[in-house]
Amino acid sequence: MGMIDWAERPAEVLQQGGVIGPDERLPWPQTAAMGVQHVIAMFGATVLAPILMGFDPNIAILMSGVGTLIFFFITGGKVPSYLGSSFAFIGVVIAATAYAGKGPNANIGVALGGIIACGALYTLIGVVVQAVGTGWIERFMPPVVTGAVVAVIGLNLAGIPIKNMAASNFDSWMQVVTFTSVGLVAVLTRGMVQRLLILVGLIVASVIYAVLTNGLGLGKPMDLSGIASAAWFGAPAFAAPVFSASAMLLIAPVAIILVAENLGHIKAVTAMTGKNLDQYMGRAFIGDGVATMVSGASGGTGVTTYAENIGVMAATKIYSTAIFVVAAVIAVVLGFSPKFGAVIQAIPLPVMGGVSIVVFGLIAVAGAKIWVDNKVDFSDNKNLVVAAVTLVLGTGDFTLKFGGFALGGIGTATFGAILLYALLNRKP
C-alpha cells in the first residue's frame, strides 16, 4: 500500500495495538516516537563501526539516513528495514588502509573505492535475483536454516556488550540495571510507553547512572562538557573515494556477507509479520547496494539492513515502514549536528551495553521463533546437525580465509548452514 492508503486509514483502527503491518502505520505522533527509538537502536553500532575504521561518525549517521530512504524508495516502502554501518567491512578496511586504530584514517580514499565496488557487486546480485526470482532461495534456505542464521546474527554480536562495553565491575552492574529497567518497562507498562521500552529503559538507566556516579562517586561520571561546547549545526568531513584494484578486490567480496545478512533479516521479518516479503528480495539487495555506493562516495561506511532494528520490531510488534522514513529523516538531520553526536557520546557505555544485550537477545529469540512457528522437526538428524553446527560457527565467530579474504562468523554460519543442508538433504 502507498502513502495515500495510509492517510485514508482511520487513526482509531491503527491505535488499537496488536501487530502493525509493514503497510500500516500508527498516528504520526506515535510514529515519530517509534522513529526516535529506531534511531537510538541503530546508533551504537552505526557510530561504533566508523570509529573502529577511522571514519567520521557523523557522516556514517547521515549516510545511514540517506541509505534508508534510498532503500525505502527502491523497495516501494514494502520492506521494514533500517540501513546502518556494517561491521562486515571493518576487517577488510583495516587491511586495505593499514589503519593503526586511532584518530582519522589517513588512507580512507582506497577504502571508499572498495566500498563502492562492493555496493556495485551487491546491486548486480540483486538484479539477478530480481530477474530469476527467489525459488532457489526457498530450496536452499528452509526454516531450519533461516532460523539458525537469524539466531546467529544475535548470538554473534553477544560478545560486544559483554566484553567491550563493561570496563569494571560497576559497569557490569550498570548493564544489569539497564536490561532490568528495559524488562520492567516491557512488563509493567502499557500503551506507548511499553512500545518505547528500549528508549524509556535507556533514559531510566542513564538517570540512575548519573545519580550513582556524578552524585555518589561510584563510577566514571557522565561527562556533559562536550555537549555544551559542540555546535548545533555543521557539515561533517566528507571524503572522496580512490579506486585501487587491490583494495577493491579485497573489499568487494563483503557483498556476499551483506546478501546473507539481508536475506536473514527479510526472512525474520517475514516470520514475524506473517507477510511473505520474498518477492521484494531482489529490490532489497539493489536498495542496499545502491545505498552502499552512495555512502562510499561520500566518506561513509558500507551499510546493511540492521539486526538491532529488527530486534526493536520483534519487541514492539510494529513493522510499519513509515517509522523508518521518520528514523531516516531524523538521522539525516542529526548527521549535520555535532551537538547530537556529543549527546550520544555522553550516554554511558555500560548503559548502551545493557540495551545491546536486550536487543541482540531478541534477535536470537526471533530465530528460535522461526523454528517454532514452522514446526521444525529436530528429531530429524539433518535438521539437528544443521542447526547445531550453524549456532556454534556463528556464536564462536568461526573464520575461514581464502587468500587475503576472511569470511567471519556470520558469513561462515550462513554459508555453512546453506551448504550443509544441501549436502545432508541429498536423497540416498
Q: For the residues 322-344, what does the mean pLDDT come to?
A: 84
**13 falls in which pLDDT band (50, 70, 90)?**
very low
Grid cell at residue 212: 550513582
| CB 321, CB 23: distance < 8 Å | yes
d(CA 426, CA 428): 6
Interatomic CA distance for residues 79 and 319, integer angstroms? 9
- Say what the pLDDT of residue 47 is: 77
Q: Binning pLDDT at 50, 70 and 90, where does residue 200 land? A: confident
Per-residue model confidence as pLDDT tens digits over 122-179: 999 999 888 887 677 667 778 888 788 778 877 877 777 787 677 788 888 988 999 8
Question: Within 299-348, where are the H helices?
Answer: 307-316, 322-335, 338-346
In this prediction, residues 42-62 reach a mean pLDDT of 80
Return the pLDDT at 290.
96
Q: Cα torsion at 193, 189, 359, 141 (round to 10°)?
A: -100
Residue 11 banded pLDDT, cuts 50, 70, 90: very low
Does residue 91 fall inside a structural domain? yes
- The answer as to whether 18 is a domain residue is no
- Contact assessment for residue 247 and residue 96, using Cβ atoms and an 8 Å cutoff: yes
**pLDDT tens-digit map of 294-317:** 999 998 999 988 877 887 887 777
Q: What pLDDT does 390 receive?
A: 92
Q: Give DSSP secondary structure letters for 63-109.
A: HHHHHHHHHHHHTTT-S---EEE-GGGHHHHHHHHT--SSSS-TTHH
Region of 190 please: left (phi>0), alpha (psi -120 to 50) or beta: beta
Q: How many whole angstroms separate alpha carbon 150 and alpha carbon 411?
A: 12
Q: Mean pLDDT check: name the lowest of 10-14, 200-204, 386-390, 395-399.
A: 10-14
Binned at pLDDT 50, 70 and 90, residue 272 comes out as: confident
Residues 6+ apart with CB under 8 A from 14: 20, 24, 25, 26, 27
pLDDT (mean) for 210-226: 80
Q: pLDDT per residue over 204-217, tens digit each?
A: 898 898 888 887 77
Which 8-state DSSP code applies to residue 160?
A: I
Cell 548470538, located at residue? 155
- Does residue 93 lie within any of the structural domains? yes
Predicted local confidence at residue 27, as pLDDT: 77
Note down the domain range covering 336.
Answer: 23-424
Mean pLDDT of the 308-330 span: 83
Residue 251 has pLDDT above 70, yes or no: yes
CA-to-CA separations, 307 to 58, 177, 359, in angstroms, rounded: 21, 23, 8
The reply to whether 15 falls in a domain is: no
Cα 165 from Cα 349, distance rounded (Å):
6
Q: Of residues 191 and 213, which shows the higher confidence score?
A: 213
How far does Cα 73 stand from its chain's mean position?
19
Please check whether residue 145 lies inside any domain of the structure: yes
Share of the chain above pLDDT 90, in %: 18
pLDDT, position 404 = 64
Alpha helices by DSSP H, listed for 133-244, are 135-140, 143-156, 159, 169-188, 191-195, 197-210, 225-229
Q: Kindly report each contact of residues 411-414 with a partner whose C-beta sits within 8 Å and lies 24 or more positions away, as own/partner.
A: 411/88, 411/256, 411/257, 411/260, 413/148, 413/149, 413/152, 413/156, 414/149, 414/152, 414/257, 414/260, 414/261, 414/263, 414/264
More confident residue, 163 or 77: 77
Which phi and psi (to 5°) does residue 157 adopt? -85, -5
Type and span of the H or E element at 262: helix 254-273
Q: Which helix (H) or strand (E) holds 405?
A: strand 405-407
Q: How many domains does the chain have?
A: 1
